[in-house]
Amino acid sequence: MTQYRILFIDSYDSFTYNVVRLIEEQGTTENPIEVVTIRNDTFKDINELIGYIHLFDGIVVGPGPGNPLHGSKEVGIINDLFKNPNFVKIPILGICLGFQAMCYASGANINILETIKHGQVYPINITDNKNQIFENYPSIFKSTRYHSLHVTNFENLNTIIPLAHTNDENGKLLMATQINGKPWYGVQYHPESCCSELGAQLIQNFMKIIQSTSKSRDSDNDISKLKLLQKTIDLSPIHDPTSNSNTNTPILKEYNVSNDPNLTFKICDKLNMDKFIMGSSVVSANRGEWSIIAVPSKDSVVLTHYGSLKKTTIHKWQDESLKMKQIHAALKTADAIVNENLEVINEDKESFWHTLGNFMTDRSVAVHQDIPFIGGLVGILGYEMGSYIHFNDNNVLRPDAKLVYIENSIVINHMNGKLYTCSLSTEFPQDISQIVSTVIEQEAQTQLDWDHTLPKGIDYKIDMPNKEDYAKAFGQCQEYMHQGDSYEMCLTTQTQVTPSQRLPPWTIFKTLIKRNPAPFSSFFHFNDILDNTNDILSFISTSPERFLKWNNQTCELRPIKGTVKKSNEMTFEKATEILKSPKEFGENLMILDLIRNDLYELLPNVKVEEFMSVEEYKTVYQLVSVVKAYDLDRSKYAGIDVLKYSLPPGSMTGAPKKITVELLQDEIENILNAPIDDGSRGMYSGVTGYWSANGNGDWSVNIRCMYSYDSGDNWRLGAGGAITVLSTQEGELEEMYTKLESALQVFM
């Protein structure tokens, strides 16, 4: 058996692990392939990498943002890699950015395309089909293009051998090459995209080239060096589901009920107590099948993270000995605190994830996998809890994540008409059981008489996005995409609504449910401190989009990209035609490839189960895909790890994720949305859901939502859309207002 080892150099791209898994999948039992991934800035000097090269049989330089003309500040060591004589004999495959840097180092120029191609599928014409890299290829095949830059002035260079091209509005463009006299190959297109043909064949051919040059290696010292290299990107798990020793069995009672999703809200109407709702007001296969009513008790533990303060508080729900001034004082002190009624931990958001993992370790229950939620953590993770995003240093006591451990819940399956009361305590509360039984008995005779409008006599001051500011932000996005920094940017806006008098969040939620029913409706009113009347976090959502669902075996993401407003003139057929246009197709494809990458980062078995289906909602049509990862139980990761490493949601950022969220936060949205919350997205664009004690999880994207940090004195609503090079300012502004209207309509 011969194991081949590839060094993959990542440029913080959002398609990196699609390429990594594609390479690994070409290995066999007799000849497995190991891929070690580093970043282009892991080493500050190319000479630092030279001491590791003998460990590898080949190098793949992946795609990413940036321009080789701008040197190390944008592409790290990549330019120097192709100029250093120590690498001339090792086989190298450059993809997109890697291809451009390879050609640039060999004398070619790099220019910006007149017409940018992001997420577009084009025919690739092979110029030299006798070259090893294109062995067994047809003369023409299709592949996905993601590039603003292209290689020029190569025709008269004897260093560059053209191997393939494509034709578009820009003319004839170089799509593949070999560097003369070296085992270096490059492709401009993305072979790893789910719409690219023959990507596996490209890697197989590259491995054949490697096999002719491979060598023996790996002394004990080499293995030590390899392990150090493997640790340069930290993908360590935060939770081990097999380490718990909890043998508790939840107490369950089953009821036969109707399939009407309104049953959830009828029960909630009668529950005159604090409750959290993750309910479906629209039921269809694979979305909206379940509703959950989580009821906190005096034993419920509340975990709250304050990102800008780098602190986490832990306490019991409505502990009578705990006052809000004690929380404020504890957050303002520099010390960690452990009292019998309050614990304050000094930690950043990375450590907070580990706090959650440790908290759930001895609370996991390995039973009842057929019920998604039997109790566990429920709550909200704000947008700034995701990777690559920083917290504004405003020292404001506003939570960025808030979760509550629930022992008692009501879980309803709307597809098969089953309701379960679940308790992780000694027994399910009798008073709640009686309410559930009564509502079930009377359901056929009762109607959900919630109002379509809010109470009269209240005025609403609405501060909406400024069109001129939006136009400037749109132009900035286009500039960044055209110069190669991003493929797609999800530009979002913030609206603030100030009622003339405070309304109960429950009243607003009921109206929103009637006006905009959705499969992932949420109600969270965190009334966890008894004497707190002015600083309560409230969150209301009728989201159409699932972010991540998992059980012990699989993970599923359902990205939504592409929106058409419903009207009398807009039929399903017409909406489908619009949503399958090149602009919308490319927008969805980019996020679909990004989602695959987010799953592939931790798990090797990922499949696209549904490719760009049009789904109908109350107010809009949307383009949806489904991506699923398998064999979670065979990996070292749990679903919560996938959640951590894939936030923020790709559908709310764009791609590549790192540079895109940085540009949005630091250069664009901080100015566009400055009047509201210093430009922070807050709870908008984050996720809401649960992590059940039986290992399951389900989280929706915080869109079509509103939230308040001040008990309802002010409500914040976010809305936005993915900007691509094919977007128009007018079209994106209309889409943004369409999405905003879904929630804002209750106040108008």
Pairing verdict, β 560-565 and 555-557: unpaired
Backbone angles phi, psi at 137, to 5 degrees: -95, 150
Closest to 151 (Cα-Cα) out of 125, 187, 121, 184 = 187
Place of tokens 């709307």: 414
Residue (of 448, 532, 452, 462) closest to 495 by Cα position: 462
Catalytic one among 74, 96, 239, 741? Answer: 96
Token pair, residue 155, equals 């025709």
At residue 582, the 3 state secondary structure works out as helix
The CA distance from 680 to 493, in Å, is 10
The alpha helices in 430-538, defined as continuous H runs, are 430-442, 467-482, 505-515
Question: Strand pairing of 171-179 and 251-256?
Answer: unpaired
- Of the candidates 265, 100, 300, which has an alpha carbon nearest to the alpha carbon of residue 189? 100
- Spell out the alpha helix ranges (H) of 443-581: 467-482, 505-515, 572-579
Which one-letter amino acid corresponds to residue 496? Q
Q: Which of 118, 150, 190, 315 is catalytic?
A: 190
Block residue for tokens 């599928």? 121
The candidate with the shortest Cα–Cα distance to 23, out of 14, 11, 33, 37, is 33
| Residue 112 · residue 725 · CB < 8 Å | no
Residue 587, both tokens: 């927008």
The answer to whether 347 is a known catalytic residue is no
Distance CA 399, CA 680 (A): 13
Ramachandran region of residue 714, left (φ > 0), alpha (ψ -120 to 50) or beta? beta
Place of tokens 């959502």: 541
Single out the residue of 297, 304, 381 nearest to residue 343, CA to CA: 304
Among candidate residues 74, 192, 197, 384, the one labeled active-site is 192
Q: Which amino acid is at 114?
A: E
Distances (CA, A) of 469 to 228, 472, 661: 48, 5, 19
CA dist., res. 194 & res. 202, Å (int): 14
Q: Please say whether the beta carbons of 280 and 261 come within 8 A.
A: yes
CA angle 294–286–522, rounded 5-degree value: 30
Whether 96 sits among the annotated catalytic residues: the reply is: yes
Question: What is the Cα–Cα distance from 508 to 510, expressed in whole angstroms?
Answer: 5
Three-state DSSP at 701 gives strand
Task: Give the separation between CA 615 and CA 625, rounded to whole angstroms.
Answer: 10
Distance CA 208, CA 2 (A): 13
Which pair of structure tokens corresponds to residue 182?
Answer: 């070296």
Q: Exposed, middle or buried: residue 52 (CB in 10 Å: 0-12, 13-18, 19+)?
A: middle
Question: Mind telling me the catalytic residues?
Answer: 96, 190, 192
